[in-house]
Amino acid sequence: MSIKTVATTPFSDQKPGTSGLRKKVAIFRSPHYLENFVQAIFDTIAAPQGSTLVLGGDGRHYNREAIQVILKMAAAFGFGKVLVGQGGILSTPAASCVIRKYHTYGGIILSASHNPGGPDGDFGIKYNTGNGGPAPEKITEAIYARSKALANYRIFDAPDVALDQAGSFTLGGMVVEVIDPVTDYAELMESLFDFDAIRTLIRGGFRLCFDAMHAVTGPYGHEILERRLGAPAGTVINGVPLPDFGGGHPDPNLTYAHELVEIMYGADAPDFGAASDGDGDRNMILGRHFFVNPSDSLAVIAANARLAPGYAAGVAGVARSMPTSEAVDRVAAKLGIPCYETPTGWKFFGNLMDAGKVTLCGEESFGTGSSHVREKDGLWAVLFWLNILAKRGQSVEKIIHGHWAEYGRNVYSRHDYESLPGDAADGVMAHLKSQFTELPGKRFDAWQVKFCDDFSYTDPVDGSVSTGQGLRIGFVDGSRIVFRLSGTGTEGATLRIYLEAFEPDTAKHHLDAQLALAGLIAIAGDLSQLRARTGREQPTVIT
């Protein structure tokens, strides 16, 4: 066994997006492609010899093969130990938990999150720093710069490591410790929430259904919901992680989690339903015949945080991504705590949490989390809701309606146009920006434009500036329309339109969001010329 130095040439497309590098599996399988990016990571982070690294992924196609490559390259680089999830499995929030608990130098997470899997699907890789969170832009930009200058990479020439049984192995001078992927995370959850109260709720006949979507959270759901909290066997559906996610799209929304939606809107629906995504960092919450908008979910968690033991001392502050509704802003104002508005991308919350400025944070894209880790955390959100339900003794629908009665309702929706031709999507954005000088003051029926801008953010901790984060059109009454190109896809472009209006009148809180926002939806279509420029009549997904 020896270290090989392999000559290579750079690839031009290894610039990480908001959640690492994501490409089709076939691209990652190309000779030297994965190896180049991993070498660029190692060269950039310059970990001291003998450092410890965490490694794991969401179990999608190519996960196991990639882990073997990374282990051998880590041994060649000089890492002293790698903690790797058994079977190559480690959810994104669990990886953050392990990095933080064992004070490792950092970790590599293999995931394309909510993107489709399988041999023709997507794959992804990202580096998380020692705080457990995604590498900030200054590091990802440095990794990209290094990837464009590589002439070779180093890899240990050795047999593959057995991943299916916990234990320690050696790879040259490096220890590979295969760990149970669930235990550390489950123990953290038990320290944050009142498991006794949730057990009592379930024993009392409360029924729930958790759809793991054949993705990474299946083992976590079985251990925590069924074994530790006592929910009946079968509470977790689609609980076996599969490389192709069972042929489904592991995105927990009303379109792709259709099996759960049918259960929760059926004649004998459970009291509570939830789903998580490919790598376990997103969540969807449902009551009986009732959908909880992710923006409302964040606001409800913030308003009820003290009901959970881990948050009984209160919340230092909250943060939300710019496209997320302002519902949590209203809670923060009443609690007298700061609320920060950041670009999309969990890494922007990391600085705020490390500085002690925020405890809770969330994104409208079904991501919610707190300072317990440095990633959004799907199962954490599910457990927080169960904790609230156990303490308040009300249904999901009553809790939401009560919240709206107290704070008003931020009526909100997101329209996704997926797999658009890149030039058409860019044309929509350019056309919108071209109108910015003439739009302020213009009236569209009852709506008068107050401002237009391309959102930028100055980090209050380190002073870094992020520009080009989404086009905002704000109206005098507080309504908004936001247009943004997503950075998480691998094929074509995804244009997202976010629509929000505030409704204080409780008599109108029951209205369907699409009906209540119909006027803003029409304005968005007229201003963007989306139908003419893309040929699309309807969004791919509405949430």
Is 112 a residue whose pLDDT tops 80?
yes
Is 490 a residue whose pLDDT tops 60?
no
Q: Same domain, yes or no, for 273 and 317?
A: yes
Q: What's 94-126 look like in SS3?
A: HHHHHHHHCCCCEEEEECCCCCCCCCCCEEEEE
């199962």: which residue's tokens?
A: 379
Other beta carbons within 10 Å of 426: 15
Closest CA to 289 of 309, 266, 308, 320: 266
Each residue's pLDDT tens digit, 113-154: 888 899 999 999 999 999 999 998 889 999 999 999 999 999
Each residue's pLDDT tens digit, 315-366: 999 999 999 999 999 999 999 999 999 998 888 899 999 999 999 999 998 9
The rounded Cα 311 to chain-centroid distance in angstroms is 22
- The DSSP output letter for 538 is S
Evaluate whether 33 touches 27 at the Cβ level (below 8 Å): yes
Instruction: Return the pLDDT at 537.
Output: 86
CA atoms within 13 A on the CB side of 382: 28
Q: Same domain, yes or no, for 277 and 155?
A: no
In the chain, % of residues over pLDDT 70:
99
Instruction: Return the pLDDT at 364.
Output: 92
Instruction: Return the pLDDT at 301.
Output: 98
Of 379, 407, 435, which closes a domain?
407
Evaluate whether 248 touches 275 at the Cβ level (below 8 Å): no
Is 274 a residue whose pLDDT tops 70?
yes
pTM value?
Answer: 0.93
Q: Which of 96, 113, 325, 365 is catalytic?
A: 113
Give the chain's length: 543
Each residue's pLDDT tens digit, 441-450: 999 999 999 9
Each residue's pLDDT tens digit, 145-182: 999 999 999 999 999 999 999 999 999 999 999 999 99
Q: How far is CA 189 from CA 223, 235, 310, in A?
A: 11, 19, 9
Task: Kindly state the helix (H) or strand (E) to which residue 168 belongs, with its residue range.
Answer: strand 167-171
Instruction: Return the pLDDT at 17.
Output: 82
Of 358, 383, 407, which closes a domain?
407
Closest CA to 413 of 531, 254, 252, 251: 254
User: Environment class of residue 9 by beta-carbon count within 10 Å: exposed (0-12), middle (13-18) or buried (19+)?
Assistant: exposed
Q: Same domain, yes or no, for 174 and 143?
A: yes
Each residue's pLDDT tens digit, 202-251: 999 999 999 999 999 999 999 999 999 999 999 999 999 999 999 998 99
- Looking at the DSSP bridge assignments, the partners of residue 17 are 20
- Residue 330, both tokens: 């209203």
Q: Same domain, yes or no, for 393 and 413?
A: no
Q: Same domain, yes or no, for 418 and 522?
A: yes
**Domain enclosing residue 119, as ranges:** 2-181
CATH code: domain of residue 160: 3.40.120.10
Cα distance between residue 487 and residue 496, in whole Å:
11
- The DSSP output letter for 307 is G
Is 413 a residue whose pLDDT tops 60?
yes
Q: Same domain, yes or no, for 396 and 442?
A: no
CA atoms within 13 A on the CB side of 217: 33
CATH code: domain of residue 455: 3.30.310.50
Is 491 a residue whose pLDDT tops 70?
no
Most confident of 128-137, 381-390, 464-473: 381-390
């023709």: which residue's tokens?
A: 120
pLDDT bracket for residue 543 (50, 70, 90): confident
Closest CA to 21 of 139, 106, 160, 131: 139
Cα distance between residue 115 and residue 484, in whole Å:
18
Task: Kindly state the helix (H) or strand (E) to which residue 59 belongs, with its residue range.
Answer: none
Q: Same domain, yes or no, for 133 and 8?
A: yes
Q: Same domain, yes or no, for 147 and 280?
A: no
Q: Cα(first)–Cα(last) distance of the chain, in Å?
A: 53
Instruction: Return the pLDDT at 345.
Output: 82
**Is-catalytic flag, 456?**
no
pLDDT bracket for residue 488 (50, 70, 90): low
pLDDT bracket for residue 486 (50, 70, 90): confident
Q: Same domain, yes or no, for 373 and 415?
A: no
In the chain, % of residues over pLDDT 90:
91
User: What mean pLDDT is predicted for residues 265-276?
Assistant: 97
Evaluate whether 104 touches 52 at the Cβ level (below 8 Å): yes
Evaluate whether 389 touches 308 at the Cβ level (below 8 Å): no
Other beta carbons within 10 Å of 447: 18
Q: Same domain, yes or no, for 373 and 510?
A: no
pLDDT bracket for residue 487 (50, 70, 90): low
User: What mean pLDDT is predicted for residues 104-114?
Assistant: 95
Is 510 a residue whose pLDDT tops 80?
yes
Q: Same domain, yes or no, for 383 and 466?
A: no
Of 407, 441, 473, which closes a domain?
407
Average pLDDT, the chain: 95
Q: Same domain, yes or no, for 365 and 434?
A: no
Evaluate whether 221 touches 212 at the Cβ level (below 8 Å): yes
Closest CA to 407 of 498, 329, 318, 507: 329
Instruction: Tally the domains of the chain.
Output: 3
